[in-house]
A = this chain, B = another copy of it.
Amino acid sequence: MERIAIIDIGSNSIRLVLTQINKNNCFSIIDEVKETVRLGKDMTIYDELNPLRIEKAIKTLSFFKCLCEAQNVTKIIAVATEAVRKASNQVDFINRVKSELDIEIQILPGTSEAYYDYFGNINSMDITNALLLDIGGSSTELIWVEKRNLKASISLPFGAINLTEKFSLHKAINEKTEKDLKEFVLSFYKDIPWLKQISNIPIIGIGGTIRNIAKISRKKNNYPIDNLHNYHISLDEVSEIYNMTKVKDSGERKKIKGLSKERADIFLGAAGAVVTLFEFLELKDLYVSGCGLRDGIIYEYILQNSTPLNSVLDFSINNHMLNYEMDINHAKQVWKLTQSLYNDLKSILYIDDNYNKILKTAALLHDSGIRISYYDHHAHSFYIIANSKINGLSHKEQLMAAYIAALHRKNDFKIDLNKYEKIITERDIEIIKKLAILLRICENLDSGANSNVINIFCSIESNTVIISIESKANSPLEISQCLDCAPAFEKITGKKLIIQSSNC
């Protein structure tokens, strides 16, 4: 077990992320602290960091250092972005932090910042082609991802803080100011040669401004899932939120549900930059990412190389299995049998292969709830799957996987259609029930958790499905437990279930 700390000295906030790395390289975040120091604000005319803000930064870093010591952190990776990058007194600041706190700050060039954004996201979202947009306090990164590779990137020298200062955006905006703001950011966008080639891909949005846009949307729509990662917003809604905000001053903005009070004064300029980018490229879809620079650094440290993961979902599920100390042999065996059963029966279930990822997640994590309590663990697995950050799944897929896992022991876990009507349809519920009965059968086939049942073969007849079982030793109890699923199976498929041993 090793604990590392990432310290991210941004222009708006300084953040600490404590990550615990366990055996087999699985990791989990164990603490995260943010202080809104605003190092990028009130810089002097000589582009020096403001002395009062330097003091606050030092106090914050000193506190972070104590926290690291209390938590037995063995490695601190500290990086600084635009505010320090452009500060004429950066060396003084860095030397002071080194001598007073023994923390070495790396100043990241814009290209590195963009790279870590890319690497954090390519390993935590199911992205093939996308434009990543990271709006920070004093800079904005644009990263073009094509076929999962970083094709081009740029760091632009504006962000939430310096746009606010330049255009006095803590006030409500008038027509003239709005025009100036949009023209200002547009002049940068227009100067990027590769940006014009982009069309018809989603934007993945990173950073506090984007998260706040999503939080406002979530409140407005009564969205039932708390997880922001992978939240989808259309351009129309982003524009609507921007337009609703721009007529208010900072004080009034603080009353907007979902908008953080700390960000109310610096929200407008960055939101305007997002809208302008969408309009310029005629794009329509924004997916919020909860990952960025800090995650990129963590993934680089853990993977020890710069090759993106082959499967974001597989890595994420595996990470959860290890973190929850699950019985991985049993989980994998249940998934193997479930997949086989699914392939054999899909012709009578009338469901297509789109559901493979969902079924895999449900099968591999069906017992995750035992970590909370063995009793009612199916219900706890629902909670864990629905509420963990499972990378590589949409919110709908994640919720469906949670419901399938919840049904792995009995039929009576209630699907809360009232709560989730925005996400799950009646048709989805049908699919959940079909996939769940497959999982339940296969869970019972490995009820000894010893992979006794090696393979299954199905034959589909007019009124029955016969599952033949190849097992190491005899399997009367597995078969009898399995037959408990027969009534539910018949209700769902219209066919009786027969289970027989194919052992010689």
Contact = CB atoms under 8 A, between A and B. Distances in A.
Given A373-B387, A379-B226, A70 B30 contact: no
Interface string A346-379: 0000000000000000000000001111111001
A69 B450 contact: yes
Contacts of A146: none
Nearest to A374: B29
Interface in A23-57: 28-33, 35
A71 interface: yes
Contact of A389 (B30, B32, B375, B387): B375
Interface string A448-492: 111010000000000000000000010011000000000000000
A334 to B, nearest CB: 13
A388 B372 contact: yes
Interface string A298-309: 000000000000
Contact of A448 (B32, B66, B226, B374): B66
Q: How many monomers of this protein are in the complex? A: 2
A249 to B, nearest CB: 21
11 contacts: A28-B373, A59-B476, A63-B448, A66-B450, A71-B327, A226-B379, A290-B375, A372-B372, A373-B387, A383-B383, A383-B387
B477 A63 contact: yes
Interface of A: 28-33, 35, 59-60, 63, 66-67, 69-71, 226-227, 290, 327, 329, 370-376, 379-380, 383-384, 387-389, 447-450, 452, 473, 476-477
A59 B67 CA distance: 55
A372 B389 contact: no
Nearest to A31: B374
Contacts of A380: 387
Contacts of A452: 66
Nearest to A383: B383
Contacts of A29: 373-375
A35 B370 contact: no
A477 B379 contact: no
Contacts of A389: 373, 375
Given A59-B477, A387-B380, A476-B59, A450 B372 contact: no
A70 B449 contact: yes
Contacts of A373: 28-29, 387-389
Contacts of A28: 373-374
3 nearest A-B pairs in the assembled complex, by CB-CB distance = A70-B450, A29-B374, A63-B477
Contacts of A60: 477
A290 B373 CA distance: 13
Nearest to A375: B389
A227 B377 CA distance: 12
Contacts of A383: 372, 383, 387
A191 B301 CA distance: 73
Tell which of A71, A327, A374, A452 has the most Cβ of chain B within 10 Å: A374
A272 to B, nearest CB: 28
A5 to B, nearest CB: 13
Contacts of A67: 447-450
A383 B386 CA distance: 12
A358 to B, nearest CB: 20
Given A29-B374, A70-B450, A380-B387, 8 more contacts: A28-B373, A28-B374, A29-B375, A67-B450, A69-B450, A227-B376, A371-B371, A373-B388
A474 B284 CA distance: 51
Nearest to A369: B387
Tell which of A67, A371, A372, A383 has the most Cβ of chain B within 10 Å: A372
Contacts of A384: 372
